[in-house]
Chain A
Amino acid sequence: MKVRRLTHLGLLVAIGLILSRAATGQTPAAGAAAAMKPFTEKIPGSLVTFDMVPVPAPPGGRPFYIAKTETTWDAYDIFAFRLDLTQEQGANVDATSRPSKPYGAPDRGFGHKGYPAGSIPHQAAEAYCAWLSQKTGKKYRLPTEAEWEWVATAGKPAAAAPLAKADLDKAAWYWDTTEEKTMAVGTKTPNAWGVHDMLGNVAEWVTVGQGKPPVVKGGSFLDKAKDLYPKARLPYQPAWQESDAQNPKSKWWYADGPQVGFRVVCEM
């Protein structure tokens, strides 16, 4: 039974690869920013899709696409649990390119399908982007901090002030709106550019610049209102894996960081 399912999956992977090749010519078109249209990415070999939203060029930058939602477990599972590979391929995969088996429940039982992936170290998020790029033939990566703030403020990073509580309650899953857990992505009001959960739910990894440590942005479901604003940033905290009882600690899963996730951007 299991073998047959996996063979079937292999076939889907093959079809998916062909389809994605065919689709590359159409989306995202390598044209002017004005011509950019939202598109739906389909992870080849799976039924998982996610929406990408065009973003006008930030000052001194280029237009790009950003995921409408945080990366969900639906997508991350394919990468992390090697669902795109046969059991044999999965067993022989290079241990530096895919996550190890987690100890315990990285989703904490908060919810899985449609919920943001959490407990994710920066290197793992980067590895996911590399995998997704390889799968789709597009260039996926983590946003830079400037890009992230550009989107979070819908083009007004200089005027980035904390939201009024009533607006925050509509837009974000945080201490006052959820009980110590993530919630399904895209269920709060999006911002002016149609992007959900920039504040709250999981905090999101961004890159900062050569030689500088990455940070997570936007606060999370664990934060209170005062800590949810576009400039909010936090570098890696040892506390995110202090209860990882093993030595050495996992490179792939944070034992105490269910609030740490990410979203992807796609270059044109």
Chain B
Amino acid sequence: MASDKTAVSRRSFLHRSAVAAAATAGTGSALLSSGNYAFAQGSDTLKVGVVGCGGRGSGAASNILEADPATQIVAIGDAFEDRAKGCRDSLTKQKPDRVKLPDDRVFVGLDAYKKVIDSGVDIVILATPPGFRPLHLKAAVDAGKHVFVEKPVGVDPAGIRSVFESADRAKQKNLAIVAGTQRRHENRYRETIKRIHDGAIGDIVGAQCYWNQGGLWMHKRKPEWSDAEWQIRNWLYFTWLSGDHIVEQHVHNIDVINWAMNAHPVKALGMGGRQVRTDPAYGHIFDHFTIEFEYPNGMKMLSMCRQIDGTASRVGESLVGTKGTSNAASNIKDAKGQTIYRFEGSNPNPYVQEHVNMIASIRAGKPLNEGRQVAESTLTAIMGRLSAYTGQEVTWDQMLAMPIDIVPAKVELGPLPVAPVPVPGRTKLEDFIARTA
């Protein structure tokens, strides 16, 4: 009976994705004649700007330089001068002939993103802490830029709704949005999930996903740092900047299950807490979450994430179907546990491949637009977080309807109090509604 229900739902998902694909193709060909991608012919130089010069921003810049010989880094920006200059030096050392960053192309400050976007670039890499992402994405799409957008793409429902709008507008303007959920560009995942979509494990009736690891880096506060500078430099530990680790890290695994399902969950019931990493140097985020997500067909996915030193680690996904199981990444077994598929091909660096795919799509005049898919996965993680924070069941409809907005209306490098640690049973969704709303 359950499988009858899933079968129907699954067909409707497939139908939906087929319609979506057709729509994309249609939009692409309609705009093919608009010439919005003239620069992207063959070996024409692609000028790239980088917003957010931490380890990931610099990493993404290296990746796009590797992805295509016609790319150049011509502008970078960061909130802090040491970060921006450090990134410039490191990139220049790697590819001196393709990194063109004189002092007047290295922008510093919280408004550096505008200057990078306005500096005549073709592609913008957005790699600041995720709290800034919706604002930066909107500005980049408004300015007609193709965008590589790091995951997650926001930290709250208001931000994600803005990303939905930017994604739709990018589609109308024939602009690429490619997201840093790199598993989608990884051969082993693509081959495995293609088989699952083709029915290799039957209908998916259960799923689990994990990102359990130890703690991450923390920068000790320096006396000269304002509240905001301290928080932005330690962005992992502040929900308005990172979305908490369930959003910042675990979104990768949640995205894989959404991909396998061709759907996003409709509700979440979760728990979590801040049990071990309690020092104020670690802001106010939780150190563990366990969430049950429910999909439209009733399928339940268990998600677990933890950042506690000395605990058992596990990062990955698993899918249970009516005819078999899979790790979603390389392996499929039948219902008796016999391996029926093992990925053996080459698996090019997905962090480079995502840029290769983006550039190829731009050159073909059919820019990839992953904006909605990554926004849905980010919102899934946010829904789970809010369920754990409040101790209540939280629904997708609430996520779409409520003006939950935790990013300060205007961020300045000055005083900024730290919001209290949420207390399940006492904290309410309403507590996260912007005071200005």
Give A residues with C-beta under 8 Å from B.
Answer: 81, 83, 100-109, 112, 179-180, 239, 242-248
Give the most central of B91, B210, B313: most A CB within 10 Å.
B313
Q: List 25 A-B contacts (CB under 8 A).
A: A81-B214, A81-B309, A81-B310, A101-B214, A101-B217, A104-B211, A104-B213, A104-B313, A105-B213, A108-B315, A109-B314, A180-B330, A180-B342, A243-B182, A243-B349, A243-B351, A245-B59, A245-B60, A246-B55, A246-B56, A246-B59, A247-B59, A247-B87, A247-B91, A248-B90
CA distance A67 to B373 in the complex (A): 50
* Interface residues of chain B: helix, strand, loop or mixed (majority): mixed
Docked-complex contact A112 and B312, CB < 8 angstroms: yes
CA distance A240 to B330 in the complex (A): 18
Docked-complex contact B331 and A180, CB < 8 angstroms: yes
CA distance A113 to B211 in the complex (A): 19
B residues 279-323 in Cβ contact with A at 8 Å: 309-310, 312-316
B424 interface residue per 8 A CB criterion? no
Docked-complex contact A105 and B351, CB < 8 angstroms: no
Q: Render B108-127 as a binary contact track against A, CB cut-off 8 A, 1 for contact.
A: 00000000000000000000
Docked-complex contact A101 and B216, CB < 8 angstroms: yes
Chain A residues positioned under 8 Å from B216 (CB to CB): 101, 103
B62 interface residue per 8 A CB criterion? yes
Chain B residues positioned under 8 Å from A248 (CB to CB): 55, 90
Chain A residues positioned under 8 Å from B339 (CB to CB): 179
Starting from the known contacts A109-B312, A112-B313, 17 additional A-B residue pairs (CB-CB under 8 Å) come to: A81-B310, A101-B217, A102-B214, A103-B213, A105-B212, A105-B314, A108-B315, A180-B330, A239-B349, A243-B182, A243-B349, A245-B59, A245-B182, A246-B55, A247-B87, A247-B90, A248-B55
Docked-complex contact A247 and B313, CB < 8 angstroms: no
User: Which residue of chain B has the shortest Cβ distance to A109 in the bound complex?
Assistant: B314
User: Which residue of chain A has the shortest Cβ distance to B60 in the bound complex?
Assistant: A245
Give B residues with C-beta under 8 Å from A.
Answer: 55-56, 58-62, 87, 90-91, 180, 182, 210-217, 309-310, 312-316, 330-331, 339, 342, 349-352
Chain A residues positioned under 8 Å from B310 (CB to CB): 81, 83
Chain B residues positioned under 8 Å from A243 (CB to CB): 182, 349-351
User: Which residue of chain A has the shortest Cβ distance to B349 in the bound complex?
Assistant: A242
Chain B residues positioned under 8 Å from A107 (CB to CB): 313
CB distance from B279 to the nearest CB of A (A): 10
User: Which residue of chain A has the shortest Cβ distance to B348 in the bound complex?
Assistant: A242
Pick from A83, A112, A247: contact of B58, CB under 8 Å: A247
Docked-complex contact A109 and B90, CB < 8 angstroms: no
CA distance A101 to B217 in the complex (A): 7
Pick from B62, B213, B215: contact of A247, CB under 8 Å: B62
CB distance from B182 to the nearest CB of A (A): 7
Give the most central of A81, A106, A107, A242: most B CB within 10 Å.
A242
CA distance A105 to B91 in the complex (A): 28
Chain A residues positioned under 8 Å from B58 (CB to CB): 246-247
Chain B residues positioned under 8 Å from A247 (CB to CB): 55-56, 58-59, 61-62, 87, 90-91
User: Which residue of chain A has the shortest Cβ distance to B57 in the bound complex?
Assistant: A247
Pick from A103, A109, A179, A242: contact of B331, CB under 8 Å: A179
CA distance A105 to B56 in the complex (A): 18
Chain B residues positioned under 8 Å from A104 (CB to CB): 211, 213, 313, 315
Chain A residues positioned under 8 Å from B62 (CB to CB): 247
CB distance from B416 to the nearest CB of A (A): 26
Docked-complex contact A109 and B56, CB < 8 angstroms: no
CA distance A244 to B61 in the complex (A): 13
Give the most central of A101, A179, A247: most B CB within 10 Å.
A247
CA distance A239 to B315 in the complex (A): 20
CB distance from B184 to the nearest CB of A (A): 14
Chain A residues positioned under 8 Å from B309 (CB to CB): 81
CA distance A86 to B130 in the complex (A): 34
Chain A residues positioned under 8 Å from B60 (CB to CB): 245
CA distance A104 to B213 in the complex (A): 6
Closest 3 CB pairs of A and B: A105-B313, A109-B314, A246-B55
CB distance from B250 to the nearest CB of A (A): 11
CA distance A100 to B214 in the complex (A): 11
Chain A residues positioned under 8 Å from B331 (CB to CB): 179-180
Chain B residues positioned under 8 Å from A180 (CB to CB): 330-331, 342
User: Which residue of chain B has the shortest Cβ distance to A245 in the bound complex?
Assistant: B59
CB distance from B332 to the nearest CB of A (A): 12
CB distance from B317 to the nearest CB of A (A): 11
Chain A residues positioned under 8 Å from B315 (CB to CB): 104-105, 108-109
User: Which residue of chain A has the shortest Cβ distance to B87 in the bound complex?
Assistant: A247
